[in-house]
Amino acid sequence: MKKEVMGLVALLVVLAGGSVADVDRMAVAEKLYDTYCVSCHGEDLDGNGEVAELLDPYPRNFNKYQFVIAYKDRFKNSLLHGVAGSAMPPWKNVLSEDQIEMLVEYIEMKIVDDAPVTAYKRLRADMPKPGDAERLDYRGSGALLEVGDVERGYEAYHKHCTSCHGKLANGKGPNAIALGHAMPRNLINKHFLNQPEITDERIYRSILLGVAGAPMPAHDHLSDQVILDLIAFIRSNVEEAN
């Protein structure tokens, strides 16, 4: 009798479009999440876990579905190695790679269920090099890019970025509080900026295209030269830490 009930459940699951194995996998992932992640990322995956308030930066809010979908590939790496300069610990000695993949699938499953948009894809943009043509060359002057300049970057930063990231570049600008989740990144956090994943190319893309699902806006009105200068400025702030 019990067997028949189980069979019926399995049949209903299959009819609903999933396989029994998928359901088991997600049940395991939910358990893992409730054991290892919930204290920070919260029961509703909104980054409001019990200890969240004490952390800076706050745990990631996974209800921002654009973020989850755009950066799914990145999540695995963050889970394996942690996010330096934040409370997000590395999990590679605690969880297997398969368990980590399950958790990423679980996060995606939970938010995509609620989210109408499933086709969001991160735009790609290759980082230009010194000597390349300027992307925004309105006057057709044929300007070529130079190596980023710290002084010019400092000026551009104070013109475009302090409202959120603050005059000290610590992420605490006058508009920061109003933004809520996610807060502007602390751009003088050397542990964050010196991680191997935080390449100049990632910073270039985040400035040019914004961070999907977070209040970091796109800045495609800035020339590539200005963005290279901004990167040089950001790097110079944490240079002595290298």
Q: By the criterion CB under 6 A, which residues form the site for ligand HEC?
A: 36-37, 39-41, 55, 57, 59-60, 71, 74-75, 78-79, 83, 86-88, 91, 103, 160-161, 163-165, 175, 179, 182-185, 202-203, 206-207, 211, 214-217, 219, 230
- Looking up tokens 């995509």 gives 112
- Exposure pattern of 15-25 as b/e (b: 16+ CB <10 Å)? eeeeeeeeeeb
Cβ proximity to ligand HEC, 7 vs 217, nearer residue: 217
Cβ proximity to ligand HEC, 13 vs 170, nearer residue: 170
**Cα(104)–Cα(82) distance, rounded to whole angstroms?**
14
Q: How far is the CB of 24 from ligand HEC (least distance, A)?
A: 18
Q: Which residue type occupies 139?
A: R
Residue 209 near residue 189 (C-beta atoms within 8 A): no
Cβ proximity to ligand HEC, 86 vs 225, nearer residue: 86
Cβ proximity to ligand HEC, 22 vs 200, nearer residue: 200
How many Å is the maximal CA-CA distance in the chain? 81
Q: How far is the CB of 178 from ligand HEC (least distance, A)?
A: 9
Q: How far is the CB of 105 from ligand HEC (least distance, A)?
A: 11
Residue 194 near residue 48 (C-beta atoms within 8 A): no
Would you call the peptide bond into 182 cis, given omega within 30 degrees of 0 as the criterion?
A: yes
Q: How far is the CB of 234 from ligand HEC (least distance, A)?
A: 6
Cβ proximity to ligand HEC, 37 vs 238, nearer residue: 37
Q: How far is the CB of 133 from ligand HEC (least distance, A)?
A: 21
- Looking up tokens 């969240």 gives 52
